[in-house]
């Protein structure tokens, strides 16, 4: 049958099949060309342009190519604006803290896989934040820590506290955000880890059990190596998101987070949202900023994947 022959060019298919194939694939490919290739090419071009408003009434802009001026502005801002340098550190901090949730969810998935006590119940509650809107979970957490915890501390005779998420001490705010990230992060990958762990062969686990392998060793020496491809995939996603991670800032504070708490992801999102509502003049700077960040993220992600694959070869 024609369907299963490999490596054919379109010319060798009969006419009806050609029409069918082209009819179905044309629009998605066109969409890809415009909204992926086109957008990326436009993003690069934007980074080298500068827009000026020529007619305020009709909102007409004219542009000129300005070479590396926007990139210069990006590096100038990094050199002079403390909060941007801080944003890098906050992004890295959020990234590092994210691993606690990552490894926690691996461990908890193993517990659920082993069908130990209340495993299904734990799975349900860990997964719930993934189906409830982030803004709702953040709001509940925020109101709980701002209202309930101080009231409870006072009720049991403790010293009055003024809340955490809106504390006047920015370090307390930062710690609250990180605590929230860890709290919510435990359930983030639980479904995928559970799904993959359920594919670990029973016979392998049984054989290990007969050889006297205990659960801790089974987890580290059998289960983790067997689901290594999944771990790598999700770990790479973590690395790729290092500078898009907003540390839930927008959900907690909207557009008014303190600058000292900024992450690169929040800075980019906030400025993109504001620029979208105003005019073209900010577009080139943001495009250049995105390219600079990508220039760091892409090699970092590719390098990380390579290292992880090298480590994976040991398990072959």
Partner 1 sequence: MNNIFAKESKLRSWLRRKIKAAEKMNVFSWIVFAFLALLTLSFIIVYLWGFMTSFKSILEFDTIGNIVGLPEQWTFENFIFVFENFRVKLNGTTFYLEDMILNSLLYAVGCAFIQTAVQCIVAYLAAKFRFKFSSVIYWVVIITMTIPVVGTDISTIQMLQNIGLYDSMIGMFVLKFNFLGAYFLVFYATFRSLPDDYAGAAYVDGAGEFGILIHIILPMVANMFFTIFLLNLIMYWNDYRTPLLYIPNHPTLSNGIQWLSTSPTQEFSHTTVRITSCIIMVIPILIVFIIFKGRIMNKVSLGGIKE
Residue 7 binds to partner 1 (criterion: CB under 8 A): yes
What is the per-residue DSSP string for 109-175? HHHHHTT-TTHHHHHHHHHHHHHS-HHHHHHHHHHIIIIIHHHHHHHTT------STT-SSHHHHHH
51 three-state secondary structure: strand
- With respect to partner 1, which residue has the nearer C-beta, 82 or 278? 278
Residues in contact with 95: Cβ distance below 8 Å, sequence separation at least 6, in sequence order: 238, 239, 241, 242, 245
Nearest distance from residue 47's CB to partner 1, in Å? 9
Task: Determine which residue in the list 92, 213, 234, 308 makes contact with partner 1, applying CB under 8 A.
Answer: 234
Nearest distance from residue 293's CB to partner 1, in Å? 4
Residue 314 binds to partner 1 (criterion: CB under 8 A): no
CA terminus-to-terminus distance, the chain: 36
Tokens 């969810």 label which residue?
105
Residues in contact with 304: Cβ distance below 8 Å, sequence separation at least 6, in sequence order: 235, 236, 239
- Whether residue 166 contacts residue 78, with contact meaning beta carbons closer than 8 Å, is answered with no
- The 36-75 site mask, x for binding partner 1 (CB under 8 A), equals x-xxx-xx--x-----------------------------
- Whether residue 204 contacts residue 222, with contact meaning beta carbons closer than 8 Å, is answered with yes
Task: Determine which residue in the list 84, 88, 191, 205 makes contact with partner 1, applying CB under 8 A.
Answer: 191
- With respect to partner 1, which residue has the nearer C-beta, 3 or 79? 3
Query: What is the Cα–Cα distance from 150 to 207, expressed in whole angstroms?
Result: 53
Nearest distance from residue 69's CB to partner 1, in Å? 17
Nearest distance from residue 94's CB to partner 1, in Å? 15
Residue 152 binds to partner 1 (criterion: CB under 8 A): yes
Residue 277 binds to partner 1 (criterion: CB under 8 A): yes
Tokens 């980019």 label which residue?
268
Task: Determine which residue in the list 54, 82, 221, 273 makes contact with partner 1, applying CB under 8 A.
Answer: 273
Nearest distance from residue 15's CB to partner 1, in Å? 11
Residue 3 binds to partner 1 (criterion: CB under 8 A): yes
- With respect to partner 1, which residue has the nearer C-beta, 181 or 194? 194
Residue 158 binds to partner 1 (criterion: CB under 8 A): no
**Applying CB under 8 A, which part among 27-35, 62-70, 158-166, 168-176 lies near partner 1?**
27-35
Residue 160 binds to partner 1 (criterion: CB under 8 A): no
Nearest distance from residue 111's CB to partner 1, in Å? 5
Pick the closest to residue 252 from 237, 263, 239 (CA basis).
263
């Amino acid at each position: 049958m024609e369907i299963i022959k490999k490596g054919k060019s379109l010319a060798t298919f009969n006419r009806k099949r050609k029409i069918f194939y082209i009819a179905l694939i044309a629009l998605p490919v066109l969409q890809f060309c415009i909204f992926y290739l086109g957008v990326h090419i436009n993003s690069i071009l934007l980074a080298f342009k500068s827009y000026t408003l020529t007619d305020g009434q009709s909102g007409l802009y004219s542009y000129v190519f300005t070479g590396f001026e926007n990139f210069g502005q990006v590096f100038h801002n990094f050199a002079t604006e403390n909060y941007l340098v801080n944003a890098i550190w906050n992004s890295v901090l959020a990234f590092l803290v994210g691993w606690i949730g990552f490894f926690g969810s691996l461990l908890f998935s193993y517990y659920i896989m082993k069908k130990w006590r209340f495993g299904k119940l734990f799975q349900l509650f860990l997964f719930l934040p993934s189906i409830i809107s982030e803004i709702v979970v953040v709001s509940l957490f925020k109101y709980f820590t701002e209202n309930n915890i101080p009231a409870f501390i006072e009720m049991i005779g403790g010293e009055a506290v003024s809340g955490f998420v809106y504390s006047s001490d920015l370090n307390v705010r930062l710690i609250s955000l990180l605590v929230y990230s860890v709290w919510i992060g435990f359930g983030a990958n639980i479904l995928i880890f559970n799904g993959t762990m359920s594919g670990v062969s029973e016979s392998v686990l049984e054989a290990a059990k007969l050889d006297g392998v205990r659960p801790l060793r089974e987890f580290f020496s059998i289960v983790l190596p067997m689901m290594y491809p999944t771990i790598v995939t999700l770990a790479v996603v973590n690395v790729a998101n290092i500078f898009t991670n907003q540390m839930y800032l927008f959900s907690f504070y909207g557009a008014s987070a303190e600058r000292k708490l900024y992450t690169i992801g929040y800075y980019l999102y906030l400025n993109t949202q504001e620029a979208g509502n105003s005019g073209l003049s900010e577009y080139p700077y943001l495009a250049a900023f995105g390219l600079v960040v990508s220039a760091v993220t892409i090699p970092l992600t590719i390098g990380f994947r390579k290292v992880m694959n090298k480590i994976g070869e040991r398990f072959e």
